Amino acid sequence: MKFRLSARPPLFPHCSPLHKYRLPFTSFLKTLQTSSRAPSSHNGGGGPGTGTGANSQSNFFLVPGATVATILMLGVLHARRLYDDKKVEEAREKGSEIEFKPDVKASFLKLLPLRTISRFWGSLTSTELPVWMRPYVYRAWARAFHSNLEEVARPLDEYVSLRHFFVRSLKEGARPIDPDPCCLVSPVDGTIVSLGELKRVGAMIEQVKGFSYSVSSLLGASSFLPMISEGNLQEDCSKQENLPREKSKQSWWKISLSFPKVWDPMSASPMKGLFYCVIYLKPGDYHRIHSAVDWNIHVRRHFSGRLFPVNERATRTIGNLYVENERVVLEGQWQEGFMAIAAIGATNIGSIELFIEPDLRTNRPRKKLLHLEPPEERVYEPNGVGLMLKKGDEVAAFNMGSTVVIVFQAPVSEFGFCIRPGDRVRVGEAMGRWHNP
């Protein structure tokens, strides 16, 4: 089953057709112009320096607030990126490893309504831009965040808004997929944050030196993650496959109420050959998610959490960052066993578009302040088979920068990563192989 762009529903299904989704820039401008002319008409003005002449001159220099806000946002994001990159580069030059150090700013972020702020920015970046302005805005974005405009599939003036441009598709052949059947390819363009084999009790992933979180907390208490309990592999697998829904919900409540929110099953360890890789997407990166292998997706889980930033500074100052944030988890099987991919949301828009399930909504207003409810879960039919994807198929798209975590089984004695932390990867490039071609 191969998903093609032309056969899919619109990228933003909750707002389709597109003219209902975007904010009409020209209508907004006309409204402002009408309101600005109203006083002169009322006073019967028309003299020099007043009335219609003055208003026409002021309208000539009018810049809509949404456009100003978008430009300011670009500047702030660019300055922040330069600051973070400088700190990381300085640490690497000194040979020091970045450690986890919570600070006051991280605590302050927890008090902000980041989900509401993200929806607000989503509205601003969805504002329809005038055709003549679009190339200038997108080129400015590309210069600020090092995006390659030569790869863009369509002319710049066809992207009606910054959000539309952000989730752009690429030209045919821009991301060739490694054809080796014994390799796993990168599902996104991004920077490798961490990778390795899960060995310790509780299957812990290191967020940054000095802080770890469990992969079970990331994927959910009802995950089919292959774990070994007291050496009884068969019994443990049977319990996971037949886990009642009520018990799963109870487990999730325990996770939600715990602090820190890390589920560490007593005396449970991952099976041999269970690996992970964390990839961070910068604002200038291509933001569509592709399939890393040929696999069958059985389950989708949507965790409605917070929307903290996921940049380098956030990873070393906010504990359980990926577990706290809103995320969509896809879980299934491939030829070597277990496979899961977690798409982590982030501040600014915060939504995740799932091509294989266009009705899914993320970053929705919540009725409750606490996110203690279990994740929304869907089992793809037919049961036991699910949705079949080929290596390189498009799966989802991020709105603004975020992170992807892949957890998978592979032959432990033969598999080896082709990448290391800090490397830049692109969609289709091999991340690991389990034999020499």
Active-site residues, by number, are: 189, 290, 402
| 66-70 CB contacts, 8 Å cutoff, 24+ apart | 66/23, 66/25, 66/28, 66/124, 66/127, 67/127, 67/129, 67/133, 69/124, 70/124, 70/125, 70/127, 70/137, 70/162
DSSP annotation of 156 reads G
260 cis-preceded (ω within 30 degrees of 0): yes
User: Rounded to whole angstroms, how far apart are CA atoms 132 and 137?
Assistant: 10
Say if CB 352 and CB 167 are below 8 A apart: no
Question: What is the secondary structure of 268-299 as a DSSP string?
Answer: EEEPTTEEEEEEEEPTTS--EEE-SSSEEEEE
* CB-based contact 338:225 (threshold 8 Å): yes
Can you list the alpha helix ranges (DSSP code H) found in 155-242? 162-166, 215-219, 233-241
Nearest Cα residue to 257 out of 227, 217, 224: 217
Backbone angles phi, psi at 292, to 5 degrees: -80, -25
Which run of H or E residues covers position 312?
helix 312-315
Angstrom distance (rounded) from CA 284 to CA 191 = 12
Angle at 412 between CA 409 and CA 413, to 5 degrees: 155
Structure tokens at 48: 């020099």
Which residue shows structure tokens 């790869």? 151
